Structure 1
Amino acid sequence: MNYYQQRAALLEHATQVEYGLIVIGGGVTGCGIALDAQSRGIPTLLIEMHDIASGTSSRSTKLIHGGLRYLKQLEFGLVKETGRERAVVHHLAPHITIPEPMLLPIIKGGSMPKWMASMGTLIYDFLAGVKKSERRKVLNKADTLAAEPLLSGLNVTGGIRYYEYRTDDARLTMALACTAKAQGTTVLTYTKVVKLMYQAGEIIGVKVIDRFTDKEYILKSEEVINAAGPWVDSIDEQDADIRKNKLVLTKGVHIVVDFKKFPIQQAVYFDVGDGRMVFAIPREKKTYIGTTDTKYTGDYKEPGIEEADKTYLIGCIRTAFPGVTLTVADIESYWSGLRPLIRQRDSKSPSAISRKDEVFQSATGLLSIAGGKLTGYRKMAERIVDIVAERLKLAYDIDTCQTEFHLLSGGDIAKHGGLDTFIAEMLPVLKAFGLDTNTAARMIRLYGSNIHLYEAELKHIDERLASINLPDWQKAQLQYTIKHEFVCKPADFIVRRTADFYFRRAEAEQYASELIKAMQLLLGWTDQEYALYNEEWLLFLKK
């Protein structure tokens, strides 16, 4: 049985267990906490009301970075911690965390003069402990324009080349969830917390509803952590003691265009003239640009994109790259996410609000965590699990934090000589099944050392899919994600497991109808369920 078919039994079983910890929220923070706690010896239950990484954790700039711009805000501690975490995350998941050279052009009259950029990146390298081969290099005007000819026509005075790490945020979060599950964590997706449960003034668990059946369950634990991202405040409203209204939500939009229309030679981090900086990053024959940073009060699940967001980002490109003639009509896809930032007493512009995380403790025992960055997920988890470990030290034999050394699912490729060597080693294996070179390489990057599990699916395509008009490599990919990655609905696969919706939008729209038919066969949907999930997907497309 696959995960979708096991969910009901998992929920029933969870009612019979008293966990050491319940974690609310299946984003990168919640999954990081679940892995940390379970690997220390605390029996953990992870609850997510939608899909893993369905919120902010699949809608970032897709960089593991220290946040160079935070030096402007003098947040040296944040830059040091997240900068050093880049190397840790790269070690833990080398298949989905890739060194990315970044060009920072210096513009005459811009907000960051050359001396400031040079000093800032020097401090950045020092704080982040950057290895010698990736330390920043100061470029003159000619070298900067040679590195990125599209800057020609702009008043460039020089540039800085430095390194960040590109990732797939949803894949990183999935790797955390899979690793936590392998350690013993119970993972429940599409399970919504509807009530916090208390006894004698202390939190003892949660009431949840299965979003597929509408059946309610009571789940108990010694400790509860609310790591629900933008939803932290709405859950905390039920608690009698914890601080309320502590979040400010800001929206970040990224747009995707065809690489041929914006053929940058490398990732660029550039000044846009209003005090903000924007990234342009090439990926898989596309270029994505972002991000905006505006305060937000609307629907949390799908923040959407406004015309103002589109025109702002297109305007940023046309200003910084005079020869590029992008228009709003060139936008092929986009993503829009919410940052759950900690409210501060003084009113600040969204970009000036600190990205530091904070833990909130209630007299009832409830713990909540918010703020922070994708890069800092592991240290955030460590800090809050330290509190839980202290509380539970008499109940369980608890280890210290192990996550700095615990490879994530798919990350065991160093023994093969690194990612490039591993790709070269596995390409002939996959090409023997008829995959072209680009598709095979993409599969290897997606699954890393788990590629043998994908290979097993290639060898055994489910005979029920014989009538489905999809290539075998894609049928195998669907089988793999259903068996090993909690796939329950079309968007789980198309948007978050593959990123096809963002970077292969036309192909995704073309194959979606056949994929949904295949999902009905593999997951055992009724015709009514098929109609519901198909309509849900079509509605998602319209939005």
Structure 2
Amino acid sequence: MSELIRAPDGVQAWPASSLRPQQRSVAWDRLGAEQFDVVVIGGGVVGSGCALDAATRGLKVALVEARDFASGTSSRSSKMFHGGLRYLEQLEFGLVREALYERELSLTTLAPHLVKPLPFLYPLTRRWWERPYVAAGIFLYDRLGGARSVPPQKHLTRAGALRLCPGLKRSSLIGGIRYYDTVVDDARHTLTVARTAAYYGAVVRSSTQVVALLREGDRVTGVRVRDSEDGAVTEVHGHVVVNATGVWTDEIQALSKQRGRFHIRASKGVHIVVPRDRIVSDVAIILRTERSVMFVIPWGSHWIIGTTDTDWDFDLAHPAATKADIDYILTTVNGVLATPLTHADIDGVYAGLRPLLAGESDDTSKLSREHAVAVPAPGLVSIAGGKYTTYRVMAADAIDAAAEFIPARVAPSITAKVQLLGADGYFALVNQAEHVGAMHGLHPYRVRHLLDRYGSLLSEVLALAADRRELLSPITAAPAYLKVEALYAAAAEGALHVEDILARRMRISIEYPHRGLDCAREVAELVAPVLGWGPADVDREVATYIARVEAEILSQTQPDDASADALRASAPEARAEILEPVPLT
């Protein structure tokens, strides 16, 4: 269990769950000195969920992540915490039921500060048969898994649908159905899961890359890790190792020298981000395409539009969007918009990789989203597939399988009852937003915005500004965020680089046309004292971030994956000591 630690300056008592820079050396020493029950590889939502599940069962847990928490798939999704309406059409009833149960659990209990209800419009385009067909599917969707916290579907005429969404062409629909789903900031949610695991005693460390598996005979007994910041190496011993690395599953599997029980196929999903005023609508929109569906999702002062669904055979760490990907999204959404979008309207673009279980189909849009657990070698458990929403179930299944290799009795999973950090007291604080705002000189709107990012951890954030009121002013070129948020990212949220802050702790890299270039130096100078940076370090961080953004923008003008990947891969890594995986043979 977490305990309070007095910060060096004496200003604030930090909980041990805070991922402070000073904790990294302590965590490194513990990794090399202690015997763990479970060693989890991967700081995405599934790996973080595994660490939380194991820690709350009373096990001794280590979680290591090669880059940053949520730096892969878990920060590049469609930002939905949903059941997957389209999977009903594929007869994946069990998956949808499971996901909707998890949606309800997070929306009401586990993470109400992070998972929010969202109204959607389903435009109808076919007479007679489509309305009853879709209505039956949404009726089932509204009731599977015990979903009770969102309103039921509502049927709309064409005029009613256009009142909700005036931005649609009148000719693009004959009517509509409004239904509800949920939205989440995936990167912040993943980080919160990891921090909650630390709160319950897990040793959690980013920039810690697994480079080998330790073995005694045919038994896996731990991992050799390398610090991605300085190249130091140590060994971490555990009764069982859980491989929760998503699209990197096969690479870690190869280290075991054993044949895998399944393989992962990476499917690239691209999203664009446009200003909110470019589409006039009070609701999100779901559109059917020839291959799958496309979402138009409100995201603060923006819309997120996506996604694509294509094979990706290049760099897993930095999937690149191409001009063809962006053109496809624009063409699809412009088919229904009264005022078409252009490339000039786009403020941000991001690409992510879905870790799909290979073998079911040659069409990535039809590959199963079910997850699988396997034991490819004694002491090694692999968990893969699935979808973001079912991370908690995936984690419980993985630790259930891992229990076979742990000498002591392992208690059953209890994470259905464990709130994430920030959930406790959230609803009361929402009601007290005006009072909290008056205490700190903040507008209640700003307080509610902060509460939806930090929940009741807001007190920790604002405490950093107790004697520095200037930290409560906005970041100059990104006024949606306060300076204190950047400082908190470095002081308590494990951010080690400018990229970690601008791309994941905050979403400046996709929410502003400058993509973070105009505030990279301001943010770097804000966090420099916390991270121990001198002027040369600040210059290097800013230059590295600029190179990253410029490479991404240039890659998005390329016609195909190969040329886009070559340009994106040319940018330097923020983590200078990260090792490229050995190609699979």
TM-score (norm 2): 0.86
Task: Look up the match of 2:347.
Answer: 332
- Picking from 399, 408, 411, the partner of 1:385 is 399
Unmatched segments (≥5 aa) in structure 2: 1-7, 9-18, 553-585
CA distance in 1, matches of 2:480, 2:529: 15
* Contact in 1 for aligned 2:256/2:377 (Cα 8 Å): no
- Picking from 461, 486, 493, the partner of 1:485 is 493
Higher deviation after alignment, 527-536 or 298-307: 527-536
- Picking from 121, 126, 136, the partner of 1:108 is 126
- Picking from 484, 509, 522, the partner of 1:501 is 509
CA distance in 2, matches of 1:291, 1:175: 25
What SS does structure 2 have at the residue aligned with 1:297? coil
Q: Counterparts in 2 of 1:424-439, with a 5 A limit?
A: 424-439=431-446
1:153-203 CA distance string (max 9 Å, x none): 224222221111111101110110111000000011001101111111100
- Picking from 177, 186, 189, the partner of 2:194 is 177
1:250-307 CA distance string (max 9 Å, x none): 00011001111122221011123x2421100122111110111111111111112100
Q: Once superposed, what is the RMSD of the aligned Cα atoms?
A: 2.5
* Contact in 2 for aligned 1:33/1:381 (Cα 8 Å): yes
Task: Look up the match of 2:455.
Answer: 448
Task: Look up the match of 2:529.
Answer: 521
Q: Counterparts in 2 of 1:115-130, with a 5 A limit?
A: 115-130=132-147
- Picking from 225, 236, 259, the partner of 1:208 is 225
1:134-167 CA distance string (max 9 Å, x none): 2222323332222222223224222221111111
Q: Counterparts in 2 of 1:5-404, with a 5 A limit?
A: 5-90=22-107, 91-108=109-126, 113-131=130-148, 134-243=151-260, 246-272=263-289, 274-321=290-337, 323-345=338-360, 347-392=361-406, 394-395=407-408, 397-404=409-416
1:333-377 CA distance string (max 9 Å, x none): 0111000100015x3311111111111212332111111111000
Return the letter of the residue paired with 1:298.
Answer: F
CA distance in 1, matches of 2:150, 2:68: 38
Return the letter of the residue paired with 2:176.
Answer: G
Return the letter of the residue paired with 1:223.
Answer: V
Return the letter of the residue paired with 1:149.
Answer: P
1:490 to partner: Cα distance: 0.7
CA distance in 1, matches of 2:464, 2:116: 27
1:438-487 CA distance string (max 9 Å, x none): 43332121111111111211203399999x98999833222322222111
Describe the shift of the 1:211–1:275 C-alpha distance in structure 2 as closer, same or farther (beyond 3 A).
Answer: closer
Task: Look up the match of 1:419.
Answer: none
TM-score (norm 1): 0.92
Describe the shift of the 1:332–1:525 C-alpha distance in structure 2 as closer, same or farther (beyond 3 A).
Answer: same
What SS does structure 2 have at the residue aligned with 1:361? strand
CA distance in 2, matches of 1:523, 1:251: 34
Unmatched segments (≥5 aa) in structure 1: 417-421
What SS does structure 2 have at the residue aligned with 1:207? strand
CA distance in 1, matches of 2:84, 2:174: 23
Return the letter of the residue paired with 1:13.
Answer: R
CA distance in 2, matches of 1:522, 1:386: 39
CA distance in 2, matches of 1:473, 1:256: 18
Q: Percent of aligned positions with the same letter in both sequences?
A: 33
What SS does structure 1 have at the residue aligned with 2:255? coil
Higher deviation after alignment, 258-267 or 527-536: 527-536
CA distance in 1, matches of 2:228, 2:448: 36
Return the letter of the residue paired with 2:356.
Answer: L
